[in-house]
């Protein structure tokens, strides 16, 4: 039976349920420590026991994280197999705005946003309701995206809501608005990670792809500010590969390392999904032809080796291998977990398994947890099963890879790192 520890000079008893022990007052001498059933000993003599207890507490906390993650995994896998609503919702993809300060060549969001100009966006009270429902659904991560999230007038209040709920926050941003003032406010939030877009280490080329002069310098400066103010923040650089920038992605990996970022992710060009409203001629000169995929495949193999050499994270090997294949084999060849491991919420409150799927279910009319568990949302999940849209999306595809047995085995190290990072409480 584990002995309990008594620290003299204290004013109250502390109980740790996992250790089945307590710390309680035992006199005036602050250097003496009493063990229940063992009398008093010097602080030095009991140091080893305290260290042992501390290590057990740490191991128990990590074990709880792993057990919680295992519960999520089994619940989702079983729900997917039985075609029933999962009891939990690990990841919420929350679009808080459709506004953006850039006009990226590969992005069709602005065309979609132009069709929604007269609609009312979610209020802070409604977003608070989403966060409260997320607590009930045991959500692990809320990923904030847009548009450009930093353009939302209440972005910091939204992050405060997520922090106060004890949920980890992720944010996707183009990085151009990361001023000293904004970064100082972000440092007080629950932000665990950010994804920042850089498409080339060549400044003028990045600016051309992002549609704004000076975008590269502003983004690089923003990353430097984040790294200085938030050393524990995980910074991921997103790069959309096109015919225009494929020759520079090797240099980009080196830049990511020099900036102190943790990971680089690559994505193919999509002319459908959320970009389907953009005229197809706007993608001219960007999409790879079948006879050009050899260059793309070679470039991806090279950057994968380079990232491992520099010891920075990179997209999963299965995802990288699938990028060239996605151009010639548009059929989906993985089990999608959209609607099971995650859901998408639009700036106007629509809740769907995937941002590309239309939905009449809205948090204006019902709480998120009721929608998630409803028969109506299960109908949308069944549409995911029959979906035939060409898709190699960095979010849903990477989630699907991690839920596959092969993906778990090949990405076990990064999965454990993610679980540890996103479940670590901010001090």
Q: Which domains does the chain have, with CATH numbers?
A: 5-67 (no CATH), 83-423 (3.20.20.70)
How many CB atoms sit inside 10 A of residue 420's CB?
Answer: 12
pLDDT digits (tens, 9 = 90+) for 264-282: 999 988 765 665 566 666 7
pLDDT digits (tens, 9 = 90+) for 70-111: 777 888 889 999 999 999 999 999 999 988 999 888 776 665
Asked if 197 contacts 238 with a C-beta cutoff of 8 angstroms, the reply is: yes
Could you tell me the two tokens for 20? 């089945």
Query: Which DSSP string corresponds to 304-340?
Result: HHHHHHHT-EES-HHHHHHHHHHHH--S--S---BTT
| 211 Cβ neighbours under 8 A, 6+ residues apart | 102, 103, 104, 105
pLDDT digits (tens, 9 = 90+) for 364-380: 999 999 999 999 999 99
Q: Of 325, 319, 359, 365, whose CA–CA distance to 339 is shortest? A: 359
Per-position b or e across 396-411, b if 16+ CB within 10 A of its CB: bbbbbbbbeeebeebb
Confidence bin at 138 (pLDDT 50/70/90): very high
Residue 132 class from Cβ within 10 Å (0-12 exposed, 13-18 middle, 19+ buried)? middle
Q: Across residues 249-255, what is the average pLDDT?
A: 95
Predicted local confidence at residue 5, as pLDDT:
35
Angle of CA points 355, 149, 176, to nearest 5°: 120
Asked if 49 contacts 5 with a C-beta cutoff of 8 angstroms, the reply is: yes
Chain-centroid distance, C-alpha 258 = 22
Whether the per-residue pLDDT at 27 is higher than 60: the answer is no
Predicted local confidence at residue 288, as pLDDT:
86
Predicted local confidence at residue 22, as pLDDT:
31
More confident: 55 or 136: 136
Whether the per-residue pLDDT at 250 is higher than 70: the answer is yes
Return d(Cα 342, Cα 374) in angstroms, integer: 15
Confidence bin at 331 (pLDDT 50/70/90): low
Predicted local confidence at residue 299, as pLDDT:
95
Q: Across residues 310-333, what is the average pLDDT?
A: 85
Whether the per-residue pLDDT at 202 is higher than 60: the answer is yes
Average pLDDT, the chain: 81
Question: What does the H/E/C string look like for 148-217?
Answer: CHHHCCCHHHHHHHHHHCCCEEEEEECCCCCCHHHHHHHCCCCEEEEEEECCCCCHHHHHHHHCCCCHHH
Lowest mean pLDDT among 9-13, 41-45, 168-172, 209-213: 9-13
Residue 191 main-chain phi, psi, to 5 deg: -65, 120
Per the confidence metrics, is the pTM higher than 0.95? Answer: no
In 280-419, DSSP assigns E strands to 313-314, 342-345, 351-352
């Amino acid at each position: 039976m584990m002995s309990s520890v008594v620290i003299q000079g204290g004013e109250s008893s502390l109980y740790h349920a996992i250790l089945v022990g307590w710390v309680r007052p035992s006199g005036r001498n602050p250097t003496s420590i009493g063990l229940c059933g063992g009398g008093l000993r010097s602080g030095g003599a009991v140091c080893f026991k305290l260290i042992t207890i501390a290590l057990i507490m740490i191991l128990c906390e990590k074990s709880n994280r792993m057990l919680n993650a295992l519960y999520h995994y089994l619940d989702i896998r079983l729900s997917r197999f039985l075609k029933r609503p999962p009891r939990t919702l690990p990841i919420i993809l929350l679009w808080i705005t459709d506004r953006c300060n850039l006009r990226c060549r590969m992005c069709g969001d602005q065309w979609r946003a132009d069709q929604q100009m007269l609609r009312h966006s979610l209020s802070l009270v409604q977003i608070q309701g989403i966060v409260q429902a997320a607590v009930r659904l045991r959500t692990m991560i809320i990923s904030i995206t847009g548009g450009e999230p930093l353009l939302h007038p209440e972005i910091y209040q939204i992050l405060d809501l997520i922090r106060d709920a004890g949920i980890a926050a992720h944010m996707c941003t183009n990085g151009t608005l990361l001023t000293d003032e904004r970064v100082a406010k972000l440092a007080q939030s629950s932000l665990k990670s950010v994804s920042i877009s850089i498409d080339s280490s060549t400044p003028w080329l990045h600016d051309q792809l992002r549609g704004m002069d000076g975008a590269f310098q502003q983004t690089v400066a923003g990353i430097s500010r984040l790294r200085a103010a938030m050393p524990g923040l995980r910074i991921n650089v997103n790069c959309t590969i096109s015919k225009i920038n494929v020759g520079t992605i090797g240099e980009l990996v080196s830049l990511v390392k020099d900036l102190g970022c943790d990971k680089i992710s690559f994505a193919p060009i999509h002319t459908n999904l959320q970009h389907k409203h953009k005229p197809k001629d706007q993608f001219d000169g960007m999409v790879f032809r079948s006879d050009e995929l050899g260059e793309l495949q070679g470039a991806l193999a090279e950057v994968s080796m380079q990232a491992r050499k520099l010891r920075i994270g990179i997209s999963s090997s299965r995802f990288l291998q699938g990028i060239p294949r996605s151009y010639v084999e548009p059929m989906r060849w993985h089990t999608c977990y959209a609607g099971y491991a995650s859901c998408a919420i639009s700036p106007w409150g629509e809740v769907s398994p995937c941002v590309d799927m239309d939905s009449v279910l809205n948090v204006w009319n019902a709480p998120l947890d009721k929608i998630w568990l409803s028969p109506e949302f299960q109908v949308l999940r069944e549409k995911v099963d029959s979906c035939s849209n060409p898709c190699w999306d960095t979010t849903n595809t990477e989630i699907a890879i991690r839920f596959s047995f092969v993906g778990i085995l090949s990405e076990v190290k990064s999965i454990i790192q993610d679980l540890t990072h996103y479940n670590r409480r901010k001090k």
